[in-house]
Amino acid sequence: MARVMLIEDDPSVREGLRLSLSRHGHEVDVARTGEDGLRRLLAAPADIVVLDLMLPGIDGFEVCRRIRAGGPTPIVMLTARGDDLDVVSGLEAGADDYVIKPVRPRVLEARIRAVLRRGGPAAEAEAESGPEVHGDLTIDRGALTVSKAGVPITLPPMELRLLLELSAAHRQVFSRQQLLESVWELDFLGDSRLVDACVQRLRTKIEDVPSKPRYIQTVRGFGYRFGPL
């Protein structure tokens, strides 16, 4: 199982989630504030962070940005309400997924498993076919690595899975719901904002001009496809 860093200021919620995650076999480290969570992550990196947005001191949005700036550690954020602004801001800050409070432990566990599952069908199907070269972008499915013009690109798990899924079917158009099902494993009315935010972040890393994407193109009214043209 995974080493989980749980950053949550509410004592009852924190203890309940700690016990639930421990019962699922995870090693759980807990922090009450964003500052404490960041210190603990520096001392002992986690496999995944479960992060409350409403924290005293440094809020969850800033904690998310700092974690993401430091590397690809996946983040599942907790929000007390399905507020559009909170959700969008958290995803733009770098979160991979979100769960609305009150948290159902089985839902959180399912989201953690999905985020940590780095490869998936697209990677497995072509793991032995060798690196793919698309312009100056190289994707090695077997090694789960990506580089641009020979320079390695570090991608968080969900961004990597999204790129693998899109590039496995060159020029095929994927709807947002299809991507939610295959990448996030949400098979019933998932939140399309997860897809859009992940595409935006991915474009900043693989595109020369993110506002004029060459590799991940928007098909208006449908979804996305992988180029290049």
Q: According to the model, what pLDDT value does residue 10 have?
A: 95
Structural domain boundaries of the chain? 3-116, 121-226
Name residues of the chain where pLDDT drops below 50.
Answer: 119-127
pLDDT single digits (tens) 85-98? 788 889 999 999 99
Q: According to the model, what pLDDT value does residue 124 have?
A: 47
Q: According to the model, what pLDDT value does residue 187 have?
A: 67
Find all residues with CB under 8 Å of 194, minimum gap 6, and list them: 91, 97, 98, 180, 184, 186
CATH code: domain 3-116 is 3.40.50.2300
Q: According to the model, what pLDDT value does residue 185 have?
A: 85
pLDDT single digits (tens) 53-75? 999 999 999 999 999 998 899 99
Contact 100, 107 (CB under 8 A): no
Q: In the sheet that 132-134 helps form, which strands lie side by side, from edge to edge?
A: 132-134, 137-140, 145-148, 151-153
Q: According to the model, what pLDDT value does residue 188 have?
A: 59
Q: According to the model, what pLDDT value does residue 121 have?
A: 44
Q: According to the model, what pLDDT value does residue 82 have?
A: 62
The domain made up of 121-226 has a fold known as Arc Repressor Mutant, subunit A (1.10.10)
**pTM for the whole structure:** 0.83
The amino acid present at 38, given as its one-letter code, is: L
Beta bridge partners of 223: 175, 219
